[in-house]
Structure formats: structure tokens, C-alpha cells
Amino acid sequence: PQGTEKAKTFLHAFLKRSMPQVKDEAIQDMLTRKAVVLEHYAKKKTKQKRKKTKGFTARQRRELRLFEIEPEQQRYALFLPLHELWKQYLRDLCHGLKPDTQPHMIQGKLLKADLHGAIVTVTKSKCPSYVGITGIILQEFKHIFKIITKEDKLKVIPKRNNVFSLELDGFISYIYGSKFLLRASERSAKKFKLKGTLDL
């Protein structure tokens, strides 16, 4: 009998510790039954916030010279394969440049296309020294194009106040730089509106 009382006392204490939210009356009710089901309450895990990996700042990029093209790499012939890749990319983007393709459709695709590798010519400019410069676009930033000319010279051409022409398979398209002041990644999501005659 003494052992039975000890067992009951131990079991009651065990149930109280295992199920702290259950009242004593409910525990006593459980003890009067033949079978006791012990419930397990798992501790809630606190979710750890994932830290976003931060990229380089503009100053760090300048210090590391990430976007600088070395002088020995500033050769027009070196980037001709890039131009061939760009031509194929644009043909695929426009589903083949056929003679009956609508010019406004090509223009719409060009406005959102990646221009790295395209050959452009400055046709109009408020600065006369820029007019006639032709080359392959190596880098596009928000306000400038970096192009390599056939004379193996790297030119930095501002978009503002310049008009660029681009030719592919007989289609000639014009880009008004002042309306093009966007990064390449931003252009792909922007909706361009059709407008009338534009001027510098």
C-alpha cells in the first residue's frame, strides 16, 4: 500500500510537470482511468531572419576597378565575336528580321534589348566632335555608353543630347539618348510611350 501511494504521488507530479497547462482536477480525473495518454508539447522555434548579402558599394567598385577595361584589351577585333553574338540575340528576340517585319515592332524590342555588343554611330549631337563616332558598345551605364572604335580607341559618349543609329540586316533604328537615361536592367521593365517628332 505504501508503494502504491508513492507511485500515485510520483505519477501526479510527473503529469503536472509534463502538462503544465492542465488543471489538477483534470489530472486527478486522468488518474482514475486505466490508460493515461501523455501529450508532448514541442517548444516553438524562433525563426532566424536571413541576412541579405550586400554587394559592393559604388566606392568599393571604383577601388577594385571592376568596370575598367585594361589598355591591352582595348582592341576592336577582340570584341567582334561579341557583336556577332549580339546580332544573333536580336534576331532571336525579333523572331527573325524579315522584310515584312513591322519597324515599330523592332524599335519596341530594341528599346528593351541589351545593347552590349551592338555597333552604334552618333548621327546627331549638340557637341560636333561626337558626330560620326562608330563603335561596339562595351558598357552601358545610366548616362553614358562606352564604345570601342575601329581605331582601337575607347570612347565615353554621354547619352544626353546625342542621337545614335543602329543598323542590323537592313533595318536602321535611331536611339534618342536623352530619352534613354536608364540602366540596361531598368529598361527591360520600363514601358516606353510612342511620341511624335523628337529633337535634341
pTM over the 0.75 mark: no
pLDDT tens digits, 126-153: 999 999 999 999 999 889 999 999 999 9
Nearest to 133 by CA among 165, 85, 110: 165
Question: What's the pLDDT at 78?
Answer: 93
Q: How many domains does the chain have?
A: 2
pLDDT tens digits, 61-79: 788 877 788 888 889 999 9
User: CB–CB of 117/85 below 8 Å?
Assistant: yes
Nearest to 69 by CA among 53, 55, 82: 82
Stretch 171-176: mean pLDDT: 87
Distances (CA, A) of 73 to 29, 76, 78, 152, 153: 86, 9, 7, 9, 11
Q: Report yes or no on 184 lying in a domain.
A: yes
Question: What is the chain's mean pLDDT, rounded?
Answer: 81
Percent of the chain with pLDDT over 90: 30
The interaxial angle of helices 80-93 and 103-112, nearest 10 deg, is 120
Q: Give the cell for residue 162.
A: 546625342
Q: Report yes or no on 82 lying in a domain.
A: yes
Question: Are residue 7 and residue 98 in the same domain, yes or no?
Answer: no
Q: Report yes or no on 149 lying in a domain.
A: yes
- For residue 50, pLDDT over 80 is answered with no
User: CB–CB of 186/143 below 8 Å?
Assistant: no
Q: Report yes or no on 37 lying in a domain.
A: no
Q: Which residue has the higher pLDDT, 5 or 118?
A: 118
Range of the domain at 162: 73-189
Question: Are residue 87 and residue 139 in the same domain, yes or no?
Answer: yes
Q: Report yes or no on 120 lying in a domain.
A: yes
- For residue 85, pLDDT over 90 is answered with yes
Question: What's the pLDDT at 158?
Answer: 94
Mean pLDDT comparison of 9-13, 109-113, 172-176, highest-scoring range = 172-176
Nearest to 177 by CA among 134, 124, 133: 124
Question: Are residue 12 and residue 109 in the same domain, yes or no?
Answer: no
Stretch 15-23: mean pLDDT: 77
Q: Report yes or no on 153 lying in a domain.
A: yes
